[in-house]
Structure formats: structure tokens, C-alpha cells
Amino acid sequence: MKIKAAVCYEYKTPLVVEEIDLADPRKEEVLIKMVGSGVCHTDIHAQEDGWGGMDKMPMVFGHEGSGIVEKVGPGVTEFKPGDHVIVSYPYCGECEYCLTGKPYLCPECISLIHGGTMADGFSPLSKDGKTIHNFFGSSTYATHAVANVRNLAKVDPDVDLSLLGPLACGFMTGSGAVLGQFKAEPGSTIAVFGLGGVGISALMAAKICNCTTIIAVDIVESRLELAKELGATHTINGKQIEDVVGEIKKITGGKGVDYAVEATGFEPVVRNAIHSMGMGSEIAIIGPATHFEFEQLWGELYGKTIRVINMGMVQPKLFIPKLVEWYKKGMFPIDKICKTYTLDDINVAFEDSLNGTSIKPIIKFE
């Protein structure tokens, strides 16, 4: 079928919104009419350099989709046309990690995300007979997407689908780290570095866990203001305060925090996050700390736990419906951080994410 999609032809160039072809769903696959698709910084990394060259061009990005099942392929029993679904990350479904409910540990996960095709090497996207690669096994910056049933989580049809796409990645990842990995105790202290979709959702989760000291660190004042509204007890503007670590130590009576979330991916921030940890504490490294040299911090890391997070370390089919319940109860107020754009304005949405105008841009489809 013909669909409209945002295609990246070359790194560092604007996405091109145009008509392309999408193949029918095959065995275990589903065709989804997209309703919304969030902008995650991972899409922006892909556009900048294809995750260090892993993403093959041309490619359609987008991995935070929400939509309605339109057609199912052979063998699909879990979904039917009309189901409301969130399109999350791919995994093999057959390895020991997938079989024991930990698909985020699947050794195939990263290659299925960045490899440009489904597991069997086929991409359902093309133009004039030439292959266009898919992303995360779905490519949700398009009016329609085909994905394997494993990627999908079913959600309550009574909730407005248009804002739920980011539950597939950013919102699931930040909150999953705090709720699932830390299981932060009531009364504990936490610092969140970076208040994009990932960091803000970690902060919302810290509130759900009843952390009593919640320190938000960012360089955009409006994000710090919003963080206060959402439950931050302290805010630190990294541009205005030189000694961020000293400030955090001061707030925590010299001890350092029980939990830290690094959601920027910038080396100096990773360093600050580690230095602000207290004894027995845990850190979730979520941004790509690819250039960070952990060896130099051996002494500093004594008695502390580092968790490098992939997709919130959660099974989306089970975790996403829980986030929807919290959203319905007003405990996970994602509507406060989302701003919608049309597919034609996708390059503006990317720009607004980067310049601080919009925490979570969402492409809303007609």
C-alpha cells in the first residue's frame, strides 16, 4: 500500500516527507494505522550519525508509536483489527532471556533495532522498488507501520491514543529504571540528570515511589520549573551552578543520593551523576555513555551499583498498561509534557526537542 513517511536519506540532513510503499503484514506481523509517534533523542542520534554508523540509509525512524490495528498477518491470534496498541522495541522471542520474560536482555535486540530490517532481513518499506530500511522493526514516522506482534502492547481503548506513543520508549525507560530496577523505597533520595522524556518520566516515577528528596538537574530553566510542578523538591541549573555535585551533597546532608538517573548521555554529566552518589546507592545510566572511562572511577564506585539500562529493563506488554493506569489516575501526567506536530512538520519537532522548546514532541496523524 502507499503510505506517507518521513525518510532520512543521509545523516545530518532533514527528513523528507513523501509517499512510499509498505508491504502487507506477513506471518506474526500486524499492520497498524498510526495515531501518534513521539520524538525520542534516539531518533535524533540516528539522524545525526546513525548511532555511529549502525543505521543504514535510507531509513524511516520513529519507535514511539501508538495506533490502531488495521490488518493482521497469518498466525496472529493476540491482536485483531480495531485493537489499540503501542509499538515498542523488537526482540527475538526465542533466546533464554526472551523466554524468561527479559526481552531487554535479548542479544538480538540492538541489531533488530538498528539493523534496518525484520529478523529475516526483509524491510517492508520501499520506494520505486528500492528498499528503505526500517528502524526498531517498525518505523513509526509514517501513516502506517508493519511490526511483529512481539513489539506490541495492547492498551485501554478508552484512553486517547494520540499521547501514548512515548510509553513505547522514553517514558517506559525512565520510569522502568526507577520503578522496576531501583524499586526506590519511600523516603529515599534521588537525583535525575536531564529532563527530556526519559528524565521527566524517571522523576514522575520517583514521586510514585514516594521518594522524599527529588533533585532535578538540567540546563533549561523552563524544564526545571516544570519539574518542580511534577514533584521535584530541589532543582539545579547546571549552567548557573558550577559545583553541581557539591550542591547535591549539601542537599543530602553530605551523604549523596540513594539513586541517580543519568538521562543526558553527556560525559561530564555522567561524571557528576556518579560523584553525587552515596554509599550503597545505585545509578541508572540511560544516555549513551560511550566515551566514558569507568576504570578511572574505581575508588569512587566502591560500594555502589551501576545499572546500564536498555528500554527500561521492562517487558512492554506488561509494563505499558500499568503506565496507562497511572496516567488515568493522574499519577503519570504525560499530557503536561507532550506537544503535537503534523508529520509535515517533523523537522520542526526535532529542532524543538533539541532547542528545549518541547520536552516530548509527538507527531499526530490525521
Nearer to ligand NAD, 155 or 269 (CB): 269
Grid cell locating 284: 541508572
98 belongs to the binding site for Zn ion (CB under 5 A): yes
The rounded distance, in Å, linking the Cα atoms of 181 and 143 is 35
Nearer to Zn ion, 42 or 272 (CB): 42
Residues recorded for the chain: 366
CB-closest chain residue to ligand NAD: 196
CB of 16 or CB of 110, closer to ligand NAD: 110
Q: Interacting stretch for Zn ion, rule CB under 5 A, among 23-31, 49-57, 77-85, 94-102? A: 94-102
Between 166 and 256, name the residue whose CB sits nearer to Zn ion: 166
CA distance 321 to 298: 39
Q: Which of the stretches 27-35, 139-147, 168-176, 222-230 binds Zn ion when contact is defined by CB under 5 A? A: 168-176
As given in the structure block, the three cell numbers for residue 63 are: 519507535
Is the Cβ–Cβ distance between 360 and 343 less than 8 Å? no
**If binding is defined by CB under 5 A, does position 92 make contact with Zn ion?**
yes
Q: Which is nearer to ligand NAD, 191 or 343 (CB)?
A: 191
Binding flag, residue 169, Zn ion (CB under 5 A): yes
CB 194 to ligand NAD: min, Å: 3
Residue in the block written with cell 512492554: 316
Give the cell for residue 354. 533539541
Write out the residues near ligand NAD by the rule CB under 6 A: 40-42, 45, 169-170, 173, 193-199, 217-220, 223, 238, 263-266, 269, 286-288, 309-311, 353, 356
State the nearest-atom distance from the C-beta of 1 to ligand NAD, in Å: 30
Least distance in Å: CB of 63 to ligand NAD? 9
- The mark string for 33-52 relative to Zn ion (x by CB under 5 A, - otherwise) is -------x-x----------
d(CA 118, CA 125): 11
Number of residues that bind Zn ion (CB under 5 A): 8
Segment (H or E) for 19: strand 16-22
Residue 17: left if φ>0, alpha if ψ -120 to 50, beta else—which one? beta
Between 132 and 203, CB nearer to ligand NAD = 203
CB of 329 to ligand NAD, least distance (A): 23
Q: Which of 16, 17, 54, 95 binds Zn ion (CB under 5 A)?
A: 95
State the amino acid at position 207 in one-letter form: K
Provide, rounded to whole angstroms, the least separation between the CB of residue 198 and Zn ion: 8
Of residues 188, 159, 186, 155, the one with CA closest to residue 172: 155
The nearer residue to ligand NAD, 20 or 309, going by C-beta atoms, is: 309
Q: Name the residue among 145, 1, 132 with its Cα closest to residue 87.
A: 145
User: Minimum distance between the CB of residue 345 and Zn ion, rounded to whole angstroms?
Assistant: 20
Buried b (16+ CB within 10 A) or exposed e, 20-42: bbbeebeebbbbbebbbbbbbbb
Place of cell 545530518: 12
Q: Is the distance from CB of 120 to CB of 48 less than 8 angstroms?
A: no
Are 363 and 32 a contacting pair, CB within 8 Å? no
Least gap, CB of 265 to ligand NAD (angstroms): 3
State the number of CA atoms in the 13 A half-sphere of 198 facing the CB: 26
By C-beta, is 69 or 168 nearer to ligand NAD? 168
CB of 101 to Zn ion, least distance (A): 11
Residues that bind Zn ion (CB under 5 A): 40, 42, 91-92, 95, 98, 106, 169
